[in-house]
Amino acid sequence: MLSNETVRKLHEMRLSVMAETFSAQLEDVQFRPVAFEDRFAMLVDVEWSARKSNRLLASSVMLVTLTLPHVSRALSTIRNKS
């Protein structure tokens, strides 16, 4: 029960990846002998990686969004000159 509350709070704090990974760890018997510090480090690493990936994706989308009008205008200019 305490675990369900912890997962709910993680979701509420927008740590969804950490919450899902924690839930998976609770269900997987292979994680039981793993030390708390190691399990916690895994949870933090997974959340950090997901956020880093999301930031990179958002930056890429923003870059494409910002440059697309310029590329489109340049292509139109080239087409009009031919």
Q: What is the pLDDT of residues 20-75, one digit of tens each?
A: 999 999 999 998 999 999 999 999 999 888 888 876 666 666 666 666 666 566 65
Number of domains comprising the chain: 1
- The closest alpha carbon to 40, from 21, 27, 58, belongs to 21
For residue 34, give the 3-state DSSP assignment.
coil
Whether the model clears a pTM of 0.75, i.e. scores above it, the answer is no
pLDDT at 34: 93
pLDDT at 5: 93
For residue 19, what are the domain limits? 2-81
pLDDT at 30: 93
Which parts of 1-82 fold into alpha helices (H)? 2-12, 16-27, 36-81
